[in-house]
Amino acid sequence: MAGEHLVLVHGEGHGGWCWFKLRWLLEGSGYQVTCIDLAGGGVDPTDPNTVRSFEQYDKPLLRLISALPEGEKVILIGHGSGGLSVIHAMHEFVDRIKQAIFVAAAMLPFGLQTDEDKKDVCFVP
């Protein structure tokens, strides 16, 4: 598996920076690693107070995957609410995702994928 492209997806309230220790270990083992900042997270310039949908929140991840060279597949690793972003990317880019790994991540029950479904999973009263 060394040499594979891993995309690490942070959860809410974080940024790609939260993966820094794991990133160095993975790169030292020969993986290509991208730590994405979702909209309003990390160094992404989006004001987090203006993010109103998961579609908008996931835009940096979706752009990254859509820009992959033809035939390249990535392994997505999501933590916390980043699991929902991974699911979103899997639905949008079936042919570009080799594998998905969920680390203590939010997941949707089978068949659910709307913004309302995601809010129900993330924001339980």
- Amino acid code (one letter) for 61: L
Q: How many CA atoms lie within 13 A of 106 on its CB side?
A: 20
How far, in Å, CA of 54 to CA of 4, rounded? Answer: 27
- Report pLDDT digits (tens) over 96-105: 999 999 999 9
pLDDT over 70 for what percent of the chain? 85
CATH of the domain at 109: 3.40.50.1820
- Report pLDDT digits (tens) over 88-98: 999 999 999 99
- Report pLDDT digits (tens) over 10-30: 998 899 999 999 999 999 999
The pLDDT of 32-47, averaged and rounded, is 96
Q: Which domain holds residue 30?
A: 5-122
Contact at 8 Å (CB) between 86 and 65? no
The pLDDT of 71-78, averaged and rounded, is 97
- In the chain, the number of structural domains is 1
Contact at 8 Å (CB) between 78 and 99? no
Burial of 122 (0-12, 13-18, 19+ CB in 10 A): middle
How far, in Å, CA of 72 to CA of 6, rounded? Answer: 12
User: Which are the contacts of 109, defined by CB distance < 8 A and separation ≥ 6?
Assistant: none
How far, in Å, CA of 69 to CA of 89, rounded? Answer: 16
The pLDDT of 49-57, averaged and rounded, is 91
The pLDDT of 74-80, averaged and rounded, is 97
Mean pLDDT over all residues of the chain? 90
